Amino acid sequence: MSRLEIKPLSAVAGAEVIGLDGNVPIADADFARVHKAWLDSCVIVFRDQRLSPDAHESFSARFGPLKGHVLKQYLLPGRQFTLVLSNKKVNGEAVGLEDAGRYWHSDVSYEDVPPMASMLYGLEIPPTGGDTLFANQYAAYTNLPQALRDRIAGLKARHVFNYGKIQAEPGSARKPLTEEQQKQLAGAVHPVVRTHPESGRKALYVSPGFTVAIEGLAADESKSLLQELIGYATAPEVIYRHVWKPFDAVLWDNRCLMHHATTYDPTYTRHMHRTTIAGTRPF
Ligand code: OGA
Ligand code: MN
C-alpha cells in the first residue's frame, strides 16, 4: 500500500504531496491521486526532491509532453527543456532569467497554444523573499458579480509578451531577441473566460502581465474592464503564497492559476530549473 499523503496548503489553492520521490517511476494508482490533487488545488508541492535535470524532465513528463521555451538563451546548456531562473553570473553573464514573472501572468499565454503546466524546482533559495504567489482563477471567476459574468461571456482578449518593457527596466540583463524570436512572439487571442479541459470548470484568463486588450471594445472601455477583472483575479482571498524551501518542486496548472514572482535581496542566490508541459488551445 502506498504511503502517499496529500495535505492542503491553503483554503484557496495548493496541496503538498508527501511521500513521493520524483526520481522513482510513479505507480498508476499513486499518479491518479497526485493528478487529482493537482486538478483540485491547481498547484502541488513536492518537498525535498533531489532531481538531476534528467530526473526533473522525466518527472515533469509524467504529467504530459514537455515543451521548449522561446527564450532559448536561458535553457540549461545542451538541454531542450530545462529553463534556468537564476541571478547567478558567470564571467559577468547571467546564467538564467533573473527577473522572470515579476507580474501576474499565466505562463506563455501570448502563444496560441499555451503550456498546460510548469514545474519549477528550487535549487538555491534566499533565506527570505523570492516567494511565488498563486491566484486561483476558478475562485476569481466565481467571485464575479453575475452582471459582470454576463458582460464578459464570449469576449476574447489579446495577449502579448512584454519582453521589450522588461528589457528596458534599469539593470535588466536580458539580451535582445533574435528576429525568429520576435516572429514567434506576435501574440495570441484567447477567451476571457476559459473552460478547463479536464475539470470542465470556468476560470478567468486575463493577466496584467500579458493581456493588452479586450477585442472589439474601445481602448478606454477595454482598459477599465480589464482593470475591474484583474481586481477579482488578484484579490487577496484567491491567493496562495508559496514560501520556497531548497529542493521544492512545484507543479502549477496554467489553465486555472496566475502566478507572480516576488523580489528578494539580490545579494542572496536564487537558482531554479523550470520545465514546461505542453497544453491545448484555450476555449
Ligand atoms: C516561472 C515564473 C516565478 C518565480 O517560472 O514561470 O513565473 O517565482 N516564476 O520564479
Ligand atoms: Mn511564470
Res. 1: pLDDT tops 60: no
Query: Is residue 201 annotated as a catalytic residue, yes or no?
Result: no
Query: Is residue 62 annotated as a catalytic residue, yes or no?
Result: no
8 A C-beta contact, residue 51 and residue 81: no
Res. 174: pLDDT tops 90: no
Res. 164: pLDDT tops 70: no
Cα 59 to Cα 19, 49, 96: the distances in Å are 15, 11, 22
Q: DSSP states of 99-145 as a string?
A: STT-S-B-TTTTSSS--SEEEEEEEE--SS---EEEEEHHHHHHTS-
Higher-confidence position of 207 and 163? 207
- Of 216, 158, 160, 168, the residue nearest 192 (C-alpha): 158
| Residue 18 alpha carbon to ligand 1 centre in Å | 23
Q: Which residue among the candidates 56, 105, 260, 270 is catalytic per the annotation?
A: 105
Mean pLDDT of 186-213: 96
**Ion ligand 2, residues whose Cβ is below 5 A away:** 101, 107
Query: Is residue 274 annotated as a catalytic residue, yes or no?
Result: yes
Phi, psi of 159 (to 5 degrees): -115, 135
Q: Which of 102, 274, 275, 277 is the best mutation target for the ligand 1 pocket, counting ligand atoms within 8 Å of the beta carbon and taking the most?
A: 274
Name which residue sits closest to atom 10 of ligand 1, judged by CA: 261
Query: Is residue 107 annotated as a catalytic residue, yes or no?
Result: yes
Res. 5: pLDDT tops 90: yes
Name which residue sits closest to atom 4 of ligand 1, judged by CA: 261
pLDDT of 230: 98
| CATH 3.20.20.80 corresponds to the domain 5-277 | no
Contacts of 119 (CB under 8 A, 6+ apart): 56, 59, 60, 63, 249, 250, 251, 274, 275, 277
Write down the pTM of the prediction.
0.94
Residues with C-beta less than 6 Å from any ligand 1 atom: 85, 100-101, 107, 118, 120, 132, 259, 261, 274
Q: Which of 70, 259, 269, 275 is the best mutation target for the ligand 1 pocket, counting ligand atoms within 8 Å of the beta carbon and taking the most?
A: 259
Q: For a pLDDT cut of 70, what percent of the chain falls above it?
A: 97
244-273 pLDDT, tens digit each: 999 999 999 999 999 999 999 999 999 999
Mean pLDDT of 15-35: 97
Name which residue sits closest to atom 2 of ligand 1, judged by CA: 101
Furthest-apart CA atoms within the chain: distance in Å: 59
Identity of the highest mean pLDDT range in 52-56, 65-69, 72-76: 52-56
